[in-house]
Amino acid sequence: MRAVGMIVLLATVVLFAAGCGSPGGGGGGDTPPGTPPTVPTGAPPGGTSTPPVPVDPLVADPPPGGTALDPARVTTTGLPAGFPTLVWSRGPRTLGVYGRSGGCTEAAATVVDQTPEAVTVRVTQTTTSTGPCTRELRYPAFELPLTADLGQRRVVLTGEQN
């Protein structure tokens, strides 16, 4: 008797699921059975649209109050791939850069050399644990004091991952 009740319940569920949504039983309104479902794209009906472009964290703006340096004044050849390259100033003696850190990494930045021609900044990403680690990336801002006005000196970014 219990088996018969289960069969009736199962048959009711199957019939209900098959009949939901459309007379054809496909659950897709006017779509014929066997037609694959469509995925909404954000485009208006009958038209096209360009999907929104996500903000690239490697092409950022300086923090409020900072002024971005002309990229032609910044040398990044010594920076590991994927590190942010934006440099900004806040007044004549403060230089700013972004680091890169994450679940098991920390970032740091230091001024390693100042000459009349250039200021060299080292950005590091140091592993702090072998895991398990989350996979997010953060781009902390660092503002570094200079011993003399930046003026028209160029900025050389170097970096390393430990």
Q: How do the pLDDT tens digits run along the chain, 162 residues long?
A: 555 454 544 444 444 444 444 444 444 445 556 554 444 444 455 555 555 544 455 557 898 899 999 999 999 999 998 889 999 999 999 999 999 888 899 999 999 999 999 999 999 999 998 888 888 888 999 999 999 999 999 999 999 988
- Residue count of the chain: 162
Say if 37 falls within a structural domain: no
What pLDDT, on a 0 to 100 scale, did the predictor assign at position 48?
53
Phi/psi region, residue 103 (left: phi>0; alpha: psi -120 to 50; beta: rest), is alpha
The C-alpha atoms of residue 40 and residue 51 are separated, in whole angstroms, by 12
Model's pTM, two decimal places? 0.62
What pLDDT, on a 0 to 100 scale, did the predictor assign at position 131?
82
What pLDDT, on a 0 to 100 scale, did the predictor assign at position 13?
42
CA torsion through residues 133, 125, 57, 54, sign: negative
Say if 20 falls within a structural domain: yes
Say if 154 falls within a structural domain: yes
Say if 52 falls within a structural domain: no
Same domain, residue pair 14 and 89 = no
CB burial class (10 A; 0-12, 13-18, 19+) of residue 153? middle
Same domain, residue pair 74 and 130 = yes
The count of structural domains within the chain is: 2
Parent domain of 71: 67-161
What pLDDT, on a 0 to 100 scale, did the predictor assign at position 158?
95
